[in-house]
Structure 1
Amino acid sequence: MKVTAALIAAAYAADPVNWPGQSDEDPCGTQIHFPESAVNATCTLDFNGYNPWRVFLGGEFIVDEYSFTNFDGIGSDSIDVVIFWEQSYDGSTGLLSNATCGYDTDVSLNCVDYGSALPGVYFMETANDFRMMKESNYNFQVAGAYPGDVVAMQINDAVGNGFACMNLTTNSGEINVDGINVIEDPWGNLYSDTGIITINVADYASSTVNLFTQQQPGQPWEPSLWKSTVSA
């Protein structure tokens, strides 16, 4: 999934790379393009001491905080990054302070070639806009799982709490309904209040395991794959 058009359109017209904040929940940001590939490599972002509020990668697979990889047949020969920086109001003026806003020149990328696909299972970074409407649909994708594996996900939101989601489906196997973390309602629909979801991977699964979800109405924040975990 590429970075959404809404994020690109948010860039300030006079400066296509860096733009000012509108509020402390829609802060200043940066879009940057690196002509490098994360396929069979581990790439790490550095922000020169500035603190990102959100980081969107558009289809890379998360290894650790601000580190990621990709795979043959999935990754491309370039990396797109959109960053929203932490920003707050100045107590003396009541205006947004730009002191915590980084710029494209503050963002660097270091990639280390692994020589082959990185072992393990990883979430694709697909939560591409914190301004999406409530009850938005999300497709969580996991690489590195094989038929017969049990993929265990802890999907968290942007502040680290379990992501409450509903209308859970998959085309990669069977979702385990345990009545605690995944519950079936009277109409046969699956939901989770905790974000803890496991999938038995079927023989017909593709190279990525897919979980299709919808944000519950009372869930305050969007999902963050940086704050989520997956294992198999």
Structure 2
Amino acid sequence: MPKLNQVIAIEKGTKSRSLQELTDAHHSLQKPTLLSGISRTYRPKDEEGEQLPPESTRVQLRSEEIIRQTTDSLVKLFDIVATKDWANCKAKADVVVDGTVLLSQVPATYLLFLEKQLVDLHTFIKKLPVLDAAESWTFDTSADCWATEPVQTLKTKKVPRNHVKAEATEKHPAQVEVYYEDIVVGSWRTVKFSGALPAQRVNELLARVEKLQEAVKFAREEANNLEVEEQKLGAKVFQYLFK
């Protein structure tokens, strides 16, 4: 008896080949010239009349023959898909992570769905924002996010000052140069907040999803290792259609 994974392995190729043959048959039957034939013989009006050779064109395609050929191809496809679908009703396996059964007796079709979803979840987790490693972060429960330690920075203001380069005389005014002096007028207390995640947390989530991906693949392989009972339904379908 074949196993489910063997049936699945040949299903795609069989389906592609059968549908191509069906398409080719359909296109062939749309060409009236291939289905038509003729036989003509010429008889002169009297014995002295011109003698002409007979003309004939043979029928190249016969609809019943095309139906038989197409049926033979599709019967195999119908049987393979039926065998797979009937087996999928019985194909089940446990998803085991670290020796513990996480999901019990999961159908093979759901395992395939789960495997595809975990690929998307892996991408999602890998793209999660990570806290800036250049900062030191602690969780602030009041803000419900991560925060840095407060940093004090001074606020300054430029104040103009006069510098007398030369005193005034009777003939010349004083020579004064204006310059600016930075005067501390206050201070800033800055705390940065972030809704990102620590790198350790993201790495932990990635490890979990990768471990689950591996467990689901093992379960799917185990489920698909089921020995199947071959189904022969295609002939019944086409006997009804074309009897």
TM-score, scaled to structure 2? 0.17
* Higher Cα radius of gyration: 2
Higher relative contact order at CA 8 Å, sep ≥6: structure 1 or structure 2? 2
| Bigger share in helix | 2
